Amino acid sequence: MNKILSITLISAVSLVLYTGCGGNSPSAEDRDMRISEDALYVKTHDSKKIIHAIEKAGEETGWKITEFKSNEVIAEKTDGDKTISSTVKFHGGYVDFSDNSETSDLRDAIEDELSKKASSH
In a domain, 6, yes or no: no
In a domain, 19, yes or no: no
Residue 77, pLDDT > 90, answer: yes
> In whole angstroms, how large is the CA radius of gyration of the chain?
22
Cα separation of 47 and 18, whole Å? 34
- Please tell me the total count of domains within the chain: 1
CATH code at 77?
Answer: 3.30.310.80
**19-65: pLDDT as tens digits:** 655 555 444 444 445 667 778 888 878 888 899 999 999 999 999 99
**39-48: pLDDT as tens digits:** 888 887 888 8
Residues 90 and 69 sit within 8 Å (Cβ to Cβ): no
In a domain, 10, yes or no: no
Residues 54 and 65 sit within 8 Å (Cβ to Cβ): yes
In a domain, 64, yes or no: yes
In a domain, 9, yes or no: no
The predicted model gives 75-99 an average pLDDT of 91
pTM: 0.67
**Domain of 80, in residue numbers:** 28-120
In a domain, 34, yes or no: yes
In a domain, 4, yes or no: no
3-class DSSP state of 56: helix
In a domain, 40, yes or no: yes
Q: Please give the distance of CA 83 from its chain centroid, rounded to a whole number.
A: 24
